Amino acid sequence: MKELKKLSKKRKPKSKPKLIDECATLLQKLVRLKAADHQGFVKCVSCGAVKRWQEMQGGHYIERRRIFTKLKEENIHPQCAYCNIFGMSNSAHCRENYRTYMIDMYGIDFHKELLEDSLKVKKYGLPEVRDMLADLKKRVKEQEDQLGSMMPTQEDEY
């Protein structure tokens, strides 16, 4: 009985791939919060649609399954759901607009480097991922607080 009690109390630690995914999800949230104007609106980097940050997504420029660039903040920007889910894999126009945005924003050299990096193999250490997760949680919270304090109250909206 004693043994059982001990076992049930101990929670299984999260696996590294799960933690990496959590980091990516937080980054996808962070880039939208960072890009939001004082009313919480962000613009899709591919089609220019403007919506509240909660209705948008954090779209990877180089696809999320590429591990080296998966957690690179400069590889993720606000996109509408259509561009992120459908456009990036089906529309050359959508990809081209994102490419233009990347080059305007970071320069041609950075863009080239990012493409090269995306082909590299990356092995994250567990402490590295844990640190990154803690840092991202903190940054998301800070951005949310900042945005929250700027947002008009319900009363002001009418």
CB atoms within 10 A of CB 136: 20
Nearest approach in angstroms of CB 50 to Zn ion is: 10
Q: Which one of 24, 47, 103, 133 is in contact with Zn ion (CB under 5 A)?
A: 47
Q: Does residue 44 belong to the site contacting Zn ion (CB under 5 A)?
A: yes
Check binding of 56 to Zn ion (CB under 5 A): no
Nearest to 76, CA basis, from 94, 63, 85: 63
Determine if 80 is a binding residue for Zn ion (CB under 5 A): yes
User: Which residue lies nearer to Zn ion by CB, 47 or 115?
Assistant: 47
CA distance 87 to 129: 30
* Nearest residue (CB) to Zn ion, 44 versus 76: 44
> Is there binding between residue 46 and Zn ion (CB under 5 A)?
yes
> Closest distance between Zn ion and the C-beta of residue 80, in Å?
3
Tell me the pairing of strands 41-43 and 76-79: unpaired
Residue 83 sits in the site that holds Zn ion (CB under 5 A): yes
Residues 6 or more apart whose Cβ sits within 8 Å of residue 34: 143
33 Cβ neighbours under 8 A, 6+ residues apart: 53, 140, 143, 144, 147
DSSP bridge partners of 52: 41
Q: Is 45 in the site for Zn ion (CB under 5 A)?
A: no
Rank residues 23 and 46 by Cβ distance to Zn ion and give the closer one.
46
Segment lying near Zn ion (by CB under 5 A), choices 9-17, 46-54, 66-74, 132-140: 46-54
How many residues of this chain bind Zn ion (CB under 5 A)?
A: 6
Q: φ, ψ for residue 73 (rounded to 5)?
A: -60, -40
Nearer to Zn ion, 61 or 124 (CB): 61
Helices 108-117 and 92-106 cross at an angle (nearest 10°) of 120
Footprint on this chain of Zn ion (rule: CB under 5 A): 44, 46-47, 49, 80, 83
